[in-house]
Homo-oligomer: A and B are copies of this chain.
Amino acid sequence: MVKTNLPLDADRLWADVMALAEITDPQRPYTRRSFTALFLEGREWLVQRFNEAGLTTRIDTAGNLIGRMEGRNPALGVIAIGSHSDTVPSGGRFDGIAGVATGLEIVRALRDSGVQPEHTIEVIDFLAEEPSEYGLSCVGSRGMTGSLDDKMLALTEPGGETLRDALRRVGGDPDRLELAKRDDIRAFLELHIEQGIVLESQSLDVGIVSSIVGIRRIEVIFQGEADHAGTTPMALRHDALVAAAATVSSVRRAAEQLAAGGADYFVATVGILSVDPSASNIVPGRCRLVIDARTTQPALTQRFVEIIDRESTAHAMAARVTRATFATLSDGPPVACDPALRTALREGAHDLGLSEIDLPSGAGHDAAFMSRICPSAMIFVPCRAGKSHAPEEWADREAIAAGAAAIYQAVKALDQSLGRNG
């Protein structure tokens, strides 16, 4: 439903989201990959908007763009609001961007209201939240929370550039990452599109995120022999794809069982499967696949990995190939959102007459890393048909404004309560 009398300017917020969406690879909207020239163009545009809103801006050593509105009582610390401006390839106009634009609109609305907050307010555009060409996601929020290590900085994109060099290129300083780590943030709030269908299907205004799934990524490589597909009898083959395909089936079967098992959230996906040498007349000699498993309950991932470890070993044996690699690429635990911040967001929604529900996040977010250094919480707004990471991704103007307004209310309340009654 259309909300009137919101404490911020829905049109101004919407205009920012739409304008940033225009900064895209024209061949495949909406693409603004981290570390690219387009990404830097988008940031330049953001810096101008931040400056117009009276914010002082800087890039921290982890490559995050930060706009700062000084509080009346800086000793109270910072209330931060943000998300990310990078996209997946052929992504959408809202994932990430809506959260950055929300932070910007909240500081403008605070100024418009004539009230200078007690706390300093920061708007953060985290670097490279989406999986980057360097094989790592949440680069900026990892950096801000002391979770970006040398091994990650040594990752390279297909062209050979290291993440370390790329970070320097976008204004960060990989040699002084400790300066990016914060201990002065008292609350972090992030608005994001739901990327699911719960809110839309129940006609709810906002979701108060209860927890963010943990994500385990596992790389499996099967090594066989690249023989001639015409002259190698079936009984003498060492076909790596046969083992990989059976493993894809195992992942599907195990994930369906674990998801159906109970109240906890569980999904698993094989999104990457590459075949080498990839010719119609050569038996695949090597296959690599990446498994992505997510849950709110770590024990489920543990059971899942045990099943896949056992079954992929059996598939390798049956195909007479070697399981050369079965490695954890990354393993982020599930994160519960801060109860006090959730309460503030819920009350903010109620102030405005918005309907809400608690729900888990199946996607990873910068807020999951931020929870390592400060209380963090998220609000979800409905998106059409749950579609995300695709050009047709869509959230209504009123939906984004309603979620942003709930955060605005929460920020005002937290500004009064944080550091006072604690």
**What residues make up the interface of A, taking CB atoms closer than 8 Å to B?**
88-90, 130-131, 137, 194-197, 213, 215, 217, 226-236, 239, 241-242, 244-246, 248-249, 252, 255-256, 259-260, 266-275, 277-284, 290, 292, 294, 361-364, 386-390
Is A363 within 8 A of B271, CB to CB? no
5 smallest CB-CB distances across A and B, nearest first, come from A245-B248, A231-B362, A229-B269, A245-B245, A230-B362
- Contacting A273 at CB < 8 Å: which of B195, B268, B273? B273
A-B contact pairs, 17 of them (CB 8 A): A90-B277, A131-B280, A194-B231, A217-B280, A228-B362, A229-B267, A230-B292, A230-B363, A232-B267, A234-B266, A245-B249, A269-B280, A269-B281, A271-B282, A271-B283, A273-B275, A273-B278
Number of copies: 2
Residue from A246, A271, A363 with most neighbouring chain B CB atoms (10 Å)? A271
Is B273 within 8 A of A281, CB to CB? no
- Contacting A259 at CB < 8 Å: which of B229, B233, B242, B272? B233
Given contacts A230-B294, A230-B363, 10 further A-B contacts (CB under 8 A): A89-B277, A131-B279, A131-B281, A213-B230, A227-B389, A228-B388, A229-B294, A233-B267, A234-B259, A269-B282
Task: Tell me the bound Cα distance from A171 to B233 in angstroms.
Answer: 38
| Distance between A319 CB and nearest chain B CB, rounded to angstroms | 8
Is A389 within 8 A of B278, CB to CB? no
Which residues on the B side are within 8 Å of A283 (C-beta)?
269, 271
| Distance between A259 CB and nearest chain B CB, rounded to angstroms | 4
- Which residue of B is nearest A329, CB measured? B280
Which residues on the B side are within 8 Å of A131 (C-beta)?
279-281
Task: Tell me the bound Cα distance from A275 to B239 in angstroms.
Answer: 18
Task: Tell me the bound Cα distance from A399 to B200 in angstroms.
Answer: 73
Task: Tell me the bound Cα distance from A231 to B248 in angstroms.
Answer: 19
Is A259 within 8 A of B232, CB to CB? no
Is A239 within 8 A of B269, CB to CB? yes
Which residues on the B side are within 8 Å of A229 (C-beta)?
267, 269, 271, 292, 294
- Which residue of B is nearest A259, CB measured? B234
Residue from A137, A215, A232 with most neighbouring chain B CB atoms (10 Å)? A232
- Which residue of B is nearest A319, CB measured? B252
Q: With A280-B292, A290-B280 known to touch, is A242 a contact of B231 (CB < 8 Å)?
A: no
| Distance between A35 CB and nearest chain B CB, rounded to angstroms | 16
Is A279 within 8 A of B272, CB to CB? yes
Which residues on the B side are within 8 Å of A88 (C-beta)?
277, 279, 281-282
Is A386 within 8 A of B232, CB to CB? yes
Residue from A130, A217, A231, A234 with most neighbouring chain B CB atoms (10 Å)? A231
Is A252 within 8 A of B239, CB to CB? yes
Is A89 within 8 A of B194, CB to CB? no
| Distance between A157 CB and nearest chain B CB, rounded to angstroms | 14
Residue from A246, A267, A268 with most neighbouring chain B CB atoms (10 Å)? A267
Task: Tell me the bound Cα distance from A249 to B244 in angstroms.
Answer: 10
- Contacting A255 at CB < 8 Å: which of B228, B234, B259, B277? B234
Which residues on the B side are within 8 Å of A197 (C-beta)?
236
Task: Tell me the bound Cα distance from A142 to B203 in angstroms.
Answer: 63
- Which residue of B is nearest A294, CB measured? B230
Which residues on the B side are within 8 Å of A294 (C-beta)?
229-230
Residue from A226, A230, A364 with most neighbouring chain B CB atoms (10 Å)? A230
Which residues on the B side are within 8 Å of A248 (C-beta)?
241-242, 245
- Which residue of B is nearest A255, CB measured? B234
Which residues on the B side are within 8 Å of A130 (C-beta)?
281
Which residues on the B side are within 8 Å of A195 (C-beta)?
228, 230-231
Task: Tell me the bound Cα distance from A256 to B229 in angstroms.
Answer: 14
Q: With A271-B229, A271-B275, A362-B231 known to touch, is A389 a contact of B292 (CB < 8 Å)?
A: no
- Which residue of B is nearest A283, CB measured? B269
Which residues on the B side are within 8 Å of A278 (C-beta)?
271-274
Which residues on the B side are within 8 Å of A228 (C-beta)?
195-196, 362-363, 386, 388-389
Task: Tell me the bound Cα distance from A280 to B260 in angstroms.
Answer: 23
